[in-house]
Amino acid sequence: MTALDLSSPVAVVGTGTMGQGIAQVALVAGHPVRLYDAAPGLARKAADTIASRLDRLVEKERLTADERDAARARLTPVDDLAGLAGCSLVVEAVVERLDVKQELFGALEDVVADDCLLATNTSSLSVTAIGGALRVPGRFVGLHFFNPAPLLPLVEVVSGFATDADAATRAYETARAWGKTPVACADTPGFIVNRVARPFYAEAFAVCEMQGADPATVDAVLRESGGFRMGAFELTDLIGQDVNESVTHSVWQAFFQDVRFRPSLAQRRLVESGRLGRKTGRGWYDHREGAERPEPHTAGPAEPPAYVVAEGGLGPAAELLDLIREAGIEVREAEEDEGSRLVLPSGGRLVLADGQLSAEFGDVVHFDLALDYRKATRIAVSHAAHTSAATVAQAVGLFQALGKKVSVIGDVPGMIVARTVARIIDLAVDAVAQGVASEEDVDTAMRLGVNYPLGPFEWSRRLGRGWAGALLDEMHEVDPCGRYAPSLALHRYACATDQREDTP
Ligand SMILES: NC(=O)c1ccc[n+]([C@@H]2O[C@H](COP(=O)([O-])OP(=O)(O)OC[C@H]3O[C@@H](n4cnc5c(N)ncnc54)[C@H](O)[C@@H]3O)[C@@H](O)[C@H]2O)c1
């Protein structure tokens, strides 16, 4: 099954933000495109907007003037659905309401031929439910573009229960022919990206809600240590708190209020108070003119320790040992390998975030996971109230000697980056185990859809397959609300490579 022929007319129904973008993509790819919107005059207005965007592409030399003129000539706004007769593909991008979409597709079936591919751009409704009442349901798929559609490469091609494999393949190949990177996924709440990405927001909000750190510190740690393009607070201020919360809410509801997807009370309050982010001037941050952006917590200078004793290889933080040596600090090897930690001259221990509270131990400082300890410019550390001042100072001084800024946060199990990455890996592994998508497509979706520095499976391979499960096991023990309980799929995934010697 191949992509639609470029001579096949494509219809876009609903010519708002997404409809305009999708129409532009199909048009620039070479199709004749027809636009329809229920609101009188909007399709024509959208055609004008698309035409002026084509002008800008010519200015930027991404399109020649001839190509623009030809594209304009292929673009036709129509005044009623009947004008879509003869189209080979209809992409729907109308308001996010099940009843409206169902009614629209019912009416469309009376207009287009039985072999016309029907696609919805829904982000949160079930593709199966939208196409449920169709006369020919096999040709119905989800084609989930991301905003702005002309710029973002990812398209989730969603198969509902009734979708024919041929229809899904044709939609997939067509998206690819349009220059997009399609990923195949099953009809599941949030599809791939909006399902697997939930913890990125939820864990940041949770750290803040439990007073572990303020938004500016969490954001700085996610960016400078985790390697994420933006922190969760600044990103949701950009997206709109209402938009982000409504996705979270709908995924949580669709999973029958599964605690792993539970929305944030703090975000609810923001939405209720109209602090929707940049678009209203305030969200987590104050974006009004003249407002000062709060600084992340950054510890003042501290003396580095003269030496550290390495007990074990530090696992995913092993590179720190090289960095410490390069900074001129002696690394002594422990005579007995007691685990995986550094002992400071104070006698206190420095331990990679493992899901446990520092408070459960004696003189301990935890430090957060970094995507790349060499490149990280900030490291978060946490400690208990009873941790000695000398141990905290030496931990801070050690990271400062490596050229890092240090944020001291509250005693939060799993800290910031570690808990976020562990939960993303858990949801990714669970999604694959449930047949939502392949490991490769999940990685592609998360890198392209939300700009993660690594896909969850790439990240997991770096950290060791057992890492996320072990961290979540510990978190679940100290916080048994259910949200941190690793999935069965994650246990199975971790065991898959364990060299088991014992036979039950
Ligand atoms: N905005 C995003 O970031 C984004 C991203 C991915 C997917 N989506 C999905 O795309 C769809 C559209 O979102 P949007 O942000 O472009 O919305 P929008 O409000 O900008 O545009 C919706 C358009 O649909 C028209 N419309 C409403 N009912 C109609 C009907 N019955 N027939 C024809 N036209 C109708 C409206 O007049 C409006 O012009 C939704 O399903 C949304 O979930 C949105």
- Whether 106 is in the pocket of ligand 1, judged by its Cβ within 6 Å, is no
Question: 370 in a domain, yes or no?
Answer: yes
Q: Name the H helices within 300-388.
A: 319-326
CATH (domain of 349):
3.30.750.190
CA of 343 to the centre of ligand 1 (A): 57
Distance (Å, whole) CA 103 – CA 2? 29
Identify whether residues 32 and 157 lie together within a single domain: yes
- Whether 123 is in the pocket of ligand 1, judged by its Cβ within 6 Å, is yes
The order of strands in the sheet holding 405-409 is 330-333, 307-311, 341-343, 349-352, 364-367, 378-383, 405-409
CA of 16 to the centre of ligand 1 (A): 5
Over its length of 504 residues, how does the chain's per-residue pLDDT go in tens digits? 799 999 999 999 999 999 999 999 999 999 999 999 999 999 999 999 999 999 999 999 999 999 999 999 999 999 999 999 999 999 999 999 999 999 999 999 999 999 999 999 999 999 999 999 899 999 999 999 999 999 999 999 999 999 999 999 999 999 999 999 999 999 999 999 999 999 999 999 999 999 999 999 999 999 999 999 999 999 999 999 999 999 999 999 999 999 999 999 999 999 999 999 999 999 999 999 999 999 999 999 999 999 999 998 899 999 999 999 999 999 998 877 667 899 999 999 999 999 999 999 999 999 999 999 999 999 999 999 999 999 999 999 999 999 999 999 999 999 999 999 999 999 999 999 999 999 999 999 999 999 999 999 999 999 999 999 999 999 999 999 999 999 999 999 998 865 555 555
Question: 492 in a domain, yes or no?
Answer: yes
CATH (domain of 438):
1.10.1040.50
Question: 252 in a domain, yes or no?
Answer: yes
- Number of domains the chain is built from: 3
CA of 26 to the centre of ligand 1 (A): 17
Nearest CA to ligand 1 atom 9: 122
Identify whether residues 400 and 481 lie together within a single domain: no
Nearest CA to ligand 1 atom 25: 14
Identify whether residues 181 and 80 lie together within a single domain: yes
Give this prediction's pTM.
Answer: 0.95
Q: Which of 12, 17, 45, 448 most suits a substitution to test ligand 1, by most atoms within 8 Å of the C-beta?
A: 17
Identify whether residues 112 and 236 lie together within a single domain: no
CA of 41 to the centre of ligand 1 (A): 16
Identify whether residues 132 and 168 lie together within a single domain: yes
Exposed/middle/buried for 179, CB within 10 Å: 0-12, 13-18, 19+?
exposed
Of 354, 358, 386, 348, nearest to 369 by C-alpha is 354
**For 366, phi and psi rounded to 5 degrees?**
-95, 150
CA of 243 to the centre of ligand 1 (A): 13
Question: 1 in a domain, yes or no?
Answer: no
3-class DSSP string for 79-127: CCHHHHCCCCEEEECCCCCHHHHHHHHHHHHCCCCCCCEEEECCCCCCH
- Whether 94 is in the pocket of ligand 1, judged by its Cβ within 6 Å, is yes
Nearest CA to ligand 1 atom 30: 38
- Whether 39 is in the pocket of ligand 1, judged by its Cβ within 6 Å, is yes
Q: Where are the beta strands (DSSP E) in 121-273?
A: 140-145, 154-159, 181-186
Distance (Å, whole) CA 461 – CA 222? 20
Residue type, 157: V
CA end-to-end distance (rounded Å), the chain: 48
> What is the three-class DSSP state of 185?
strand
Residues in the chain: 504
Nearest CA to ligand 1 atom 39: 16
Instruction: Residue 336: count other Cβ atoms within 10 Å of its Cβ.
Output: 7
Q: What is the pLDDT of residue 313?
A: 85
Question: 490 in a domain, yes or no?
Answer: yes
Angle, CA of 258, 250 and 266, to the nearest 5°: 80
Identify whether residues 137 and 55 lie together within a single domain: yes
3-class DSSP string for 392-417: HHHHHHHHHHCCCEEEEECCCCCCCH
Q: What is the pLDDT of residue 340?
A: 84
Nearest CA to ligand 1 atom 3: 147
Q: Which of 123, 127, 158, 450 most suits a substitution to test ligand 1, by most atoms within 8 Å of the C-beta?
A: 123
Distance (Å, whole) CA 411 – CA 328? 30
Question: 334 in a domain, yes or no?
Answer: yes
By annotation, the residues acting in catalysis are 123, 144, 156, 194
Identify whether residues 65 and 168 lie together within a single domain: yes
Q: What is the pLDDT of residue 503?
A: 54
Examine the fold and report which residue of 359, 381, 409 is the final residue of a domain before the chain moves on: 409
Q: What is the pLDDT of residue 502?
A: 54
CA of 233 to the centre of ligand 1 (A): 26
Nearest CA to ligand 1 atom 21: 16
Residue type, 153: P
Q: What is the pLDDT of residue 496?
A: 83
Q: Give how far Cα 253 sits from Cα of 158, 263, 427, 435, 486, Å.
A: 20, 10, 16, 20, 20
CA of 272 to the centre of ligand 1 (A): 23
Question: 34 in a domain, yes or no?
Answer: yes
**For 189, phi and psi rounded to 5 degrees?**
-55, 125
CATH (domain of 132):
3.40.50.720
Q: What is the extent of the structural domain holding 484?
A: 215-285+416-504
Ligand 1, closest atom to CA 103? 31
Examine the fold and report which residue of 187, 205, 228 is the final residue of a domain before the chain moves on: 187
